[in-house]
């Protein structure tokens, strides 16, 4: 049956049809829905792992056990999993292993714009790159065939526009290969120097074999059209090229972006007058084509930065792109904001008020960097808040310990904050670490994690006790505060900053968007009492605005958290008693 399907859902369908039995992932936009859709198939065991490295190693174990396995992550997650990745290339697989990695050109929801094809090349692992949902489904299945035929993990490169676009797919049946019986094979799976040295030549030969296979593989195809210009392209860029040029040019569409088919490229180039490469981010195909001695245009006319679009490509090739009209008014920006009732707000206001230096991390709370809270000095990657505060305190002025904190979410702390805390405890820096425990992985859309007590299906699961964990690591000062209570937050932050030893503050309250969280009735401003001082505006709540010089609460947004009430010097906020 033909149906419209999200690219990520099509990958999940591909996993189902390919007989994949094991999925372990860490959520990350734009990859998250692959695993959320896969778990809807009862035949596939799915889980959220604490981080991408664990997920990939778990998938490796499932492969050793003889089953087809999968893990998904965003592009930066592949950095976390790079350690197993580079050596799984050497061990190869038993049951097929496919690794889904979703790039985010344009950085819709990411901290950098890295091109994961570099990892494929460096780890010598083949990479497929679909350009729509139908290919996402088909390539997932082909990836398993490649994995088992060539004894290698296979990378499936998605990007925001392929992951989060729906296009038409036709589904098939699930076929499950028989479980491959586990047999001990130390020379293949124990990567100590003596064995690894013997594996490396095997991997070099495998790359040659894969390149030869790529010459005739169906995933790479030539679409001959006009021969004045021949465009080599892949992924979503192919769709933009088709949109702009239709059949007026010839196209070499590469579904496999590592390794590349030299002869196919040479043959294609020989049939057209001029060759261009259209690829987002880095000039990887382009440089390869140049190495073959073929003259090519590419990044000389196309950007390395951001996403492509049909207009961008049209203009680069000297065609007129469309333009539209604008209104005669200054349009205010609408940046994302912390939701009304967000438990992070009270804590970040406290940090702002105390003029703290804040080592930030990755999650919804990164929005604490924006005005008016403006309470973040640094955000690098998952876990970096806890690790970097240690260096900041060791190398900086002694005074720093009196105003510097690290903030990190519950899921991010388990992902890679724990090791940073171990360093603080072991090497003894006087750090104040604040764990923002909102009892869920928020930014990626509410995934369970090891601190929530529930698994990916919402069933009861093991639960890490954060207080006990921090204590076991050697932190003596641990306290829990309710971020809706500004006085308690202020006291906790002041006292722990003053303390002469490392401390952990757990700011604990569930995300206001969680279904089980009961909201209070919205507050109302007594216009008689309100003096228009704008104190309540300092917390940046989207439910509060100034109208005619007085504070006004939007009762469709307000969840009655009461943080604004604590800001008001004249008690102008009143409880309405109106039910949620």
Partner 1 sequence: METKNIMIVGVGGQGSLLASKLLGQLLLDAGYDVKVSEVHGMSQRGGSVVTYVRYGSSVASPIIDEGEADYIVSFELLEAARWLPYLKKDGQIVTNIQQVDPMPVITGAMEYPEHLVEKMKAAGAKVDALDCLSLAEKAGSAKAVNIVLMGRLSHYFDLPEEAWQKAMERIVPQKFLAMNKIAFDLGKNA
Of residues 124 and 242, the one with the C-beta less far from partner 1? 242
d(CA 461, CA 440): 14
**In the complex with partner 1, which residue's Cβ is closer, 374 or 400?**
374
The burial of 224, by beta-carbon neighbours within 10 Å (0-12 exposed, 13-18 middle, 19 or more buried), is given as middle
Q: Which one, 161 or 188, has the nearer CB to partner 1?
A: 161
Q: Per rule CB under 8 A, is residue 171 in the interface with partner 1?
A: no
Distance, in Å, from the CA atom of 148 to the CA atom of 285, rounded to the nearest integer, reads 26
Q: How far is the CB of 344 from partner 1 (least distance, A)?
A: 11
Residue 84: which region, alpha, beta or left (left: phi > 0; alpha: psi -120 to 50)? Answer: alpha
Q: For residue 164, state whether it binds partner 1 (rule: CB under 8 A).
A: yes
Chosen residue from 10, 13, 22, 30 binding partner 1 by CB under 8 A: 30
32: contact with partner 1 by CB under 8 A? yes
Q: For residues 237 and 404, which CB has a smaller minimum distance to partner 1 in the complex?
A: 237
Interaction of residue 334 with partner 1, rule CB under 8 A: yes
| Bridge partners, 523 (sequence order) | 575
Which one, 57 or 132, has the nearer CB to partner 1? 132
310 binds partner 1 (CB under 8 A): yes
Q: Count of CB atoms within 10 A of residue 56's CB?
A: 31
Task: State in angstroms the smallest separation of the CB of 62 from partner 1.
Answer: 27
**Contact, 385 vs 408, CB < 8 A?**
yes
Please choose, out of 2-10, 13-21, 78-86, 420-428, the segment that lies near partner 1 by the rule CB under 8 A: 2-10
For tokens 């976390």, name the residue: 80
Nearer to partner 1, 109 or 274 (CB): 109
Span interacting with partner 1, options 287-295, 315-323, 464-472, 497-505, rule CB under 8 A: 315-323
342 contacts: CB under 8 Å, gap ≥ 6? 364, 511, 512
Give the x/- contact pattern for partner 1 in 544-573, rule: CB under 8 A: xxx---------x-----------------
Structure tokens at 297: 């245009």
Of 233, 246, 242, whose CA–CA distance to 296 is shortest? 233
Interaction of residue 47 with partner 1, rule CB under 8 A: no
**Does 333 sit near partner 1 (CB under 8 A)?**
yes
| 386 φψ region: left (φ > 0), alpha (ψ -120 to 50), beta (else) | alpha
How many angstroms separate the CA atoms of 54 and 83, rounded? 11
Is the CB of 486 or the CB of 543 nearer to partner 1?
543
Binding residue for partner 1 (CB under 8 A) from 22, 70, 139, 240?
Answer: 240
At what angle are helices 384-395 and 418-427 packed, to 10 degrees?
A: 20
125 versus 563: smaller Cβ distance to partner 1: 563
Indicate whether 514 belongs to the interface with partner 1 (CB under 8 A): no
Going across the sheet that includes 97-103, the strands are: 45-48, 22-25, 69-74, 97-103, 154-159, 127-128, 256-258
Q: Give the phi and the psi of residue 98 in degrees, each rounded to 5.
A: -120, 135
The C-alpha angle with vertex 115 and arms to 112 and 118, in degrees rounded to 5, equals 130
**Choice from 3, 112, 227, 287 touching partner 1 (CB under 8 A):** 3
Which region among 30-38, 117-125, 347-355, 493-501 touches partner 1 (by CB under 8 A)?
Answer: 30-38
Catalog residues that contact partner 1 under the rule CB under 8 A.
2-4, 6, 29-30, 32-33, 108-109, 132, 161, 164-168, 236, 239-240, 242-243, 309-312, 321-339, 364, 367, 370-372, 443-445, 534, 537, 540, 542, 544-546, 556
């Amino acid at each position: 049956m033909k149906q419209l399907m999200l690219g990520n859902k099509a990958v999940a369908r591909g996993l189902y049809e390919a007989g994949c039995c094991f999925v372990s992932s860490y959520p990350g936009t734009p990859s998250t829905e692959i695993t959320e859709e896969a778990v809807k198939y009862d035949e596939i065991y799915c889980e959220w792992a604490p981080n991408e490295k664990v997920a990939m190693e778990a998938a490796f174990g499932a492969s050793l056990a003889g089953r087809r396995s999968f893990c998904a992550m965003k592009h930066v997650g592949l950095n976390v999993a790079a350690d197993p990745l580079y050596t799984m290339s050497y061990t190869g697989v038993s049951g097929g292993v496919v690794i889904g990695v979703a790039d985010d050109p344009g950085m819709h929801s990411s901290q950098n714009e890295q091109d994961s094809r570099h990892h494929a090349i460096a780890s010598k692992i083949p990479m497929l790159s679909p350009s729509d949902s139908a290919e996402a489904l088909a390539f997932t299945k082909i990836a398993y065939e490649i994995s088992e035929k060539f004894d290698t993990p296979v990378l499936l490169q998605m990007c925001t526009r392929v992951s989060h676009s729906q296009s038409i797919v036709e589904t098939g049946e699930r076929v499950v290969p028989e479980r491959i019986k586990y047999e001990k094979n130390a020379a293949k799976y124990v990567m100590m120097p003596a064995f690894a040295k013997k594996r490396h030549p095997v991997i070099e030969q495998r790359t040659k074999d894969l390149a030869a296979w790529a010459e005739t593989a169906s995933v790479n195809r030539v679409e001959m059209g006009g021969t004045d210009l021949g465009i080599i392209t892949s992924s979503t860029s192919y769709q933009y090229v088709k949109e702009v040029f239709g059949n007026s040019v010839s196209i070499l569409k590469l579904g496999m972006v590592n390794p590349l088919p030299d002869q196919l490229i040479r043959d294609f180039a020989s049939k057209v007058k001029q060759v261009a490469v259209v690829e987002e981010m880095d000039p990887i195909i382009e440089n390869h084509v140049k190495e073959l001695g073929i003259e090519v245009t590419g990044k000389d006319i196309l950007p390395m930065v951001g996403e492509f679009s049909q207009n961008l490509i049209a203009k680069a090739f000297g065609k007129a792109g469309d333009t539209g009209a604008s209104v005669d008014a200054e349009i205010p920006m609408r940046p994302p904001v912390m939701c009304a009732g967000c438990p992070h707000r009270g804590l970040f206001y406290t940090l702002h008020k105390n003029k703290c230096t804040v080592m930030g991390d990755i999650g919804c709370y990164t929005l604490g960097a924006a005005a008016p809270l403006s309470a973040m000095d640094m955000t690098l990657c998952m876990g970096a808040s806890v690790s970097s505060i240690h260096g900041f305190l060791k190398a900086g002025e002694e005074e720093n310990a009196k105003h510097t904190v690290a903030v990190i979410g519950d899921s991010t702390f388990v992902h890679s904050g724990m090791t940073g805390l171990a360093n603080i405890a072991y090497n003894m820096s006087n750090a104040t670490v604040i764990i923002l425990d909102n009892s869920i992985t928020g930014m990626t859309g509410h995934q369970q994690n090891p601190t929530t007590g529930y698994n990916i299906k919402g069933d009861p699961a093991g639960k890490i006790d954060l207080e006990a964990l921090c204590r076991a690591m050697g932190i003596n000062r641990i306290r829990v505060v309710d971020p809706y209570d500004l006085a308690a937050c202020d006291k906790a932050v002041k006292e722990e900053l003053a303390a002469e030893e490392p401390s952990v503050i757990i700011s604990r309250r569930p995300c206001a968007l969680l279904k089980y969280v009961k909201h209070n009735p919205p507050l109302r401003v007594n216009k008689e009492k309100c003096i228009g001082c704008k104190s309540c505006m300092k917390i940046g709540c989207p439910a509060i605005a100034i109208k005619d010089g007085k504070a006004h609460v939007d009762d469709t947004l307000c969840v009655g958290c009461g943080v604004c009430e604590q800001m008001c010097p004249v008690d102008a906020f009143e409880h309405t008693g109106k039910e949620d």
